[in-house]
Structure 1
């Protein structure tokens, strides 16, 4: 299970993850704190991993990417996993796009586009 939200969404990921599964937190959109039910973690024998792409060491990133290759990357190629794009904006509007992300109003990803020549 990949958790981009954190906060209480992280706690909800635990009972939704397969037994002996892995929960990987890679974002903090809802904040860095969460209260979890330890039974959901322990009884399901879950592994929890925290990743911060801004501070991840090279050797960790290699392992993470290698772990995505067998299942996740093919699922993306088949269209089974698709990003939620909330808005597209010209790259010159990057400050407005960043402000929208910081405000918490953005739903989905903001894609910055380059004007065609």
Structure 2
């Protein structure tokens, strides 16, 4: 999750230009490898990757703005999951956010 955005930013920072191929087609089975759209596995990795991405590419001071934004979106996501009885998915999502925040590999490069 977020690897396409991460690669795009890294390539641009390395001096490469990105091009659009308007007639290209991509076929993607959504959530095929993770087993569904709101599984604990998918939500863990989605949450962790989002925090790592934003911490890696944010300007100084922005991680705390991101934390504020993520708090709002997290509350919304948790409410939706818990109202559907998906407690394990909600816990996995929170664990992913925590692990992403504390990940050692958030530095550029």
Which structure has the higher relative contact order (CA within 8 Å, separation 6+)? Answer: 2
Using structure 1 for the length normalisation, give the TM-score: 0.26
More strand by share: 1
Who wins on radius of gyration, i.e. which is larger? 1
Of Structure 1 and Structure 2, the greater helix share is in: 2
